[in-house]
Amino acid sequence: MDSRPLISLADAKDALRGLFSPLPAVERALGECSGLVTTEAVVASEPVPPFANSAMDGYALRAAETAALPARLAVVGTLPAGSTSGPAVGAGQAARIMTGAPMPPGADSVAMLEVTRDLEDGRVEVLTSVRPGENVRMAGEDVGAGDTVFEAGTELSPAHLGVLASLGIETVRVHRRPKVGVLSSGDELVAGRSHPLRPGAIRDANRPALLALVEEAGCEPVDLGIVPDDEASLRRAMSEGAELCDALLTSAGVSLGDFDHVRRVLLELSGGTMTWLEVAVKPAKPLAFGAVGSTPVVGLPGNPVAALVSFELFARPGLRTMLGSRHPERSRVTAIAGHDLPRRPDGKLHLVRVVLSPGDSAALVARSSGGQGSHQLAAMARANALALLPDGPGASAGEDLEVMLLRPW
């Protein structure tokens, strides 16, 4: 009989907090930086755009020429993007110009092609007036030389990488990307194409799912395979994994069962400092964690949904802390229950797998994604959010719910 006290989610997260810290700073080429977090501010040494240029295909001219319409102007040349020198544009003149081409001296604006008409005599007729500066992108309008473009602690998205490239920056100082080992434990587990399954065996679902979650969290996954339920094998696999990786995730073997060796081995390898909790959440109740040497190890539960929900609650924020993220948690928003979501009071927070979709109003509507057993992984796969149902009778249709976003809808 399990008589251990249940720990609230908040207390469990507090207990875990010291386990993870940001990895040291390294210099990395831009191409390796997607999802990494800067360790120092990035300052622009040059302006973007580097020179005033046309925002449109059209004619560069002096805006004052278009005060009276139509304006008929002599065309003094054509400026493609990338041109280095163009004729100056004087009174009564215009230069044909393409998007991105440097503004020629003398011109202060661009009339787009759509409001012009080429005349037979080689001149151009401008049919609407333009304002000074119209359709001109000024030097430094995006980023000025000397500007701090990104503060330390910026998570580099694809657009951030584009900005850095536009500044000619080839390497950035970032927190190193953690290597995260994942192993499955259990004598019943088989991987791959074993057909038919031997009696009593099941296929290892947790490892592929957790490896993908590790990658999605921005870390480098390391597949440490399936380890049988014996202490010697686990001791070897976990100490080698801790040596090789910056963090280690295991699944199964953290409950009270006779063969739950993961927590016993973790207790030993962590020098007795392992924490073993029964968290007041459903699924994902059992959790073991500790440091092996300096490597954080999280022992996730074995039931597949519990393993993945536990990853979301405990492992993902920890790994994202190692990445240096200042926002390691999944976003939470309010949604409306699309139907009754009943539950029994049991002292636990329930994390219900739901499909979130836009409703008729501005609100998001949450509906159960299917069977809610901790072994029913298909409903987890269909879900794009977890609804947080506090202890009590559950939620009624139309009630507000707090939901944790897993994927877009």
Residues forming contacts to Mg ion in the complex (CB under 5 A) are 186, 252
> Is there binding between residue 221 and ligand AMP (CB under 6 A)?
no
In this structure, the strands spanning 364-368 and 332-337 are parallel
The interface mask with ligand AMP, positions 22-51, x = CB under 6 A, is ------------------------------
Question: Which of these ranges, 75-83, 129-137, 202-210, 289-297, lies near ligand AMP under the rule CB under 6 A?
Answer: 202-210
Residue 34 is classified by DSSP as T
Interface of this chain with ligand AMP, residues 240 to 279, rule: CB under 6 A: 251-253, 255, 257
Q: How far is the CB of 42 from ligand AMP (least distance, A)?
A: 42
Q: How far is the CB of 231 from ligand AMP (least distance, A)?
A: 14
Sign of the C-alpha dihedral, residues 123, 127, 128, 134? Answer: negative
Q: How far is the CB of 203 from ligand AMP (least distance, A)?
A: 7
- ∠ CA(298), CA(303), CA(307), 5° rounding? 35
Strand ranges (E), 92-215: 93-97, 109-112, 116-118, 123-126, 136-137, 148-150, 171-175, 179-185, 189-190, 202-203
In this structure, the strands spanning 400-405 and 385-389 are antiparallel
Q: How far is the CB of 224 from ligand AMP (least distance, A)?
A: 12
- On whether the CB atoms of residues 73 and 122 are closer than 8 A, the answer is no
Q: Is 384 exposed, middle or buried (0-12, 13-18, 19+ CB in 10 A)?
A: middle
- On whether the CB atoms of residues 291 and 19 are closer than 8 A, the answer is yes
Residue-wise over 194-211: b if at least 16 C-beta within 10 A, else e? eeeeeeeeeebbbbebbb
The residue (of 186 and 304) whose beta carbon lies closer to Mg ion is: 186
Q: How far is the CB of 390 from Mg ion (least distance, A)?
A: 30
Residue 325, contacted partner among ligand AMP, Mg ion, none, CB below 5-8 A by kind: none
* Helix H or strand E segment including 199: none
Residue 261 is classified by DSSP as H
* Helix H or strand E segment including 318: helix 316-322
Q: How far is the CB of 304 from Mg ion (least distance, A)?
A: 12
The residue (of 263 and 316) whose beta carbon lies closer to ligand AMP is: 263
> Is there binding between residue 202 and ligand AMP (CB under 6 A)?
yes
Q: Which of 35, 186, 218, 296 binds ligand AMP (CB under 6 A)?
A: 186
Residue 58, contacted partner among ligand AMP, Mg ion, none, CB below 5-8 A by kind: none
> Is there binding between residue 295 and ligand AMP (CB under 6 A)?
no
The residue (of 251 and 295) whose beta carbon lies closer to ligand AMP is: 251
Q: How far is the CB of 251 from ligand AMP (least distance, A)?
A: 5
> Is there binding between residue 205 and ligand AMP (CB under 6 A)?
yes
The residue (of 223 and 402) whose beta carbon lies closer to ligand AMP is: 223
The residue (of 336 and 379) whose beta carbon lies closer to ligand AMP is: 379
Q: How far is the CB of 252 from ligand AMP (least distance, A)?
A: 3
Distance CA 384, CA 380 (A): 8
Q: Which of 301, 318, 324, 338 binds ligand AMP (CB under 6 A)?
A: 301
Instruction: Using CB under 6 A, count the residues that bind ligand AMP.
Output: 18
- Residue 288's nearest CA partner among 244, 252, 319 is 252
Residue-wise over 176-188: b if at least 16 C-beta within 10 A, else e? bbbbbbbbbbbeb
Residue 184, contacted partner among ligand AMP, Mg ion, none, CB below 5-8 A by kind: ligand AMP
The interface mask with ligand AMP, positions 316-355, x = CB under 6 A, is ----------------------------------------
- On whether the CB atoms of residues 171 and 239 are closer than 8 A, the answer is no
Distance CA 53, CA 97 (A): 9
The residue (of 252 and 351) whose beta carbon lies closer to Mg ion is: 252
What are the phi and psi torsion angles at 18 (to 5°)?
-70, -10
Residue 353 has a CB neighbour count (10 Å cut-off) of 27
Q: How far is the CB of 316 from Mg ion (least distance, A)?
A: 23
Q: How far is the CB of 350 from ligand AMP (least distance, A)?
A: 19
- On whether the CB atoms of residues 183 and 300 are closer than 8 A, the answer is no
Residue 227, contacted partner among ligand AMP, Mg ion, none, CB below 5-8 A by kind: none
Binding site for ligand AMP (CB under 6 A): 184, 186, 188-189, 202, 204-207, 251-253, 255, 257, 301-304
